Amino acid sequence: MSGFVEKPEPLQVPGLTHLHTGKVRELYQNEAGELVMVASDRISAYDWVLPTEIPDKGRVLTQLSLWWFDQLADLTPNHVLGTDLPPGAPADWEGRTLICKSLQMVPVECVARGYLTGSGLVEYNDTRTVCGLALPEGLVDGSELPAPIFTPATKAAVGEHDENVSYEEVARQVGAETAAQLRQATLAVYGRARDIARDRGSSSRTRSSSSATTGDAGRGRRGPHPGLVPLLAGRDLGAGARAAVVRQAVRA
C-alpha cells in the first residue's frame, strides 16, 4: 500500500541519478558515488504523506539535523560529508541538501525512552512491559522511567508501520555484538540530548529515535552551516518554518 496521497515526480538533475523517493527526502547519487539527500517540505502523518506542504520545513529539518550532529560528534560518527549544492542543482535546494557517505543500513529503528507514552504506554497498560522490559506498577502517561530504556522497532517501508520488538529479537536479527553497540549508542545519544534540553530549561519528555547504519562514517561535515542559532536568536524564517520547528520538536 502506498504511503503517498499523491506521489511526487522527482526532479531530474544532470550528473545525479535519482534512487528513491522517501516520505520527506529525495535520494540521489552523484558521479563520485556519494549520496545526495534533499529534504522536501512534505509532511507525513500516521505513515501517510499529505498533499499539503509546510514552507521551509525541509530547510529547518536539515539545519536541526546538522546542529544535532555537531552536539553528538564525540559520541558517534555520522554520514555527512558536506552541504554544498551539486552543480546544476536548483537554487531551492540551498539549505536542504546533504552530501553523504553511502552506508549499509541496519534495519532497526533505535528508540530510547525516558518517559512512558505512545505505543510504549499501550504495551505497558496490557503487560506492564515495553519491548519485553518489565516496568514498575503505577506508571501513567508521561511518567518518568527509573532509567532510560532501549526499545527498538522494525524499520518499515513507506506505507507500512514500524513495530516494537524486543532486544533479544534485534540480537537474533543482527547479531549480539551489533545489537549491543546499537543499544549503547542509542542510550548515549538520548542521555546527551536529555542533558542539553535540561540545561536549556526543557526536558526530553518522550523519546529519541534514529535509523542505525554501519560503515566507515565520517565524524563531521565539511563546510559551515548556520545551525539553529539565528533562528533561536529571532531570525524570522516565516510562519511555515516556525510551524515546522514546533512540529519537528514534538516528533523528536
pLDDT in tens, 94-103: 999 999 999 9
**pLDDT tens for each residue of 55-65:** 999 999 999 99
d(CA 138, CA 200): 30
- Reduce the DSSP state of residue 124 to 3 states and report it: helix
The pLDDT value given to residue 182: 97
Whether the CB-CB separation of 62 and 39 falls below 8 Å is answered with: yes
Confidence of residue 161 (pLDDT cuts 50, 70, 90): low
246, HSE (Cβ side, Cα atoms, 13 Å): 8
- Min mean pLDDT across 24-38, 122-136, 160-174, 204-218 is at 204-218
Please compute the mean of the pLDDT values over residues 14-21 and round it to a whole number.
96
The pLDDT value given to residue 222: 35
d(CA 125, CA 116): 10
What DSSP state is assigned to residue 9? Answer: P
Question: 239, exposed or middle or buried, with CB in 10 Å at 0-12, 13-18, 19+?
Answer: exposed
More confident residue, 132 or 231: 132
**pLDDT tens for each residue of 21-71:** 999 999 999 999 999 999 999 998 877 888 899 999 999 999 999 999 999
Residue located via cell numbers 549544492: 85
Asked if pLDDT for residue 236 goes beyond 60, the answer is no
The pLDDT value given to residue 124: 96
Percent pLDDT > 90 in the chain is 66
pTM of the model: 0.73
